[in-house]
Amino acid sequence: MIKQFDKWHKTAPGLVTFGLVELLVAYGFASLAIDRGNPIYYLLTLIFLIGGLQNLFKLIGKFKKHGHHKTS
């Protein structure tokens, strides 16, 4: 089951889903970090922000690699 999940995570819908979820979690931790000033929340914000951006950059790379672009 974990192999299927990992395989799905590497697809375009998986990368979009994980990227957006991680960015939303990062936003939540950023709000907590600003509100409470706890360094752990800042660290978690950074970790989830990097993870979310990494997934979205992988998605962009996947589209560039396979030539998914419109031509006129």
Is the predicted pLDDT of residue 71 greater than 80, yes or no? no
Name the residue ranges covered by the structural domains of the chain.
2-65
Give dist(CA 66, CA 5) in Å, integer: 22
**Chain segment 22-45, per-residue pLDDT in tens:** 999 999 999 999 999 999 999 999
Rounded CA-CA distance 1/61 in Å is 26
Query: Which tokens is 43 given?
Result: 């660290």
Q: Is residue 49 predicted with pLDDT exceeding 80?
A: yes
Q: Strand runs (DSSP E) across 4-72, as ranges?
A: none
Mean pLDDT of 55-71: 78
CB atoms within 10 A of CB 60: 10
Pick the closest to residue 61 from 4, 2, 19 (CA basis): 19
Looking at the whole model, is its pTM more than 0.75? yes
Calculate the average pLDDT of the chain.
90
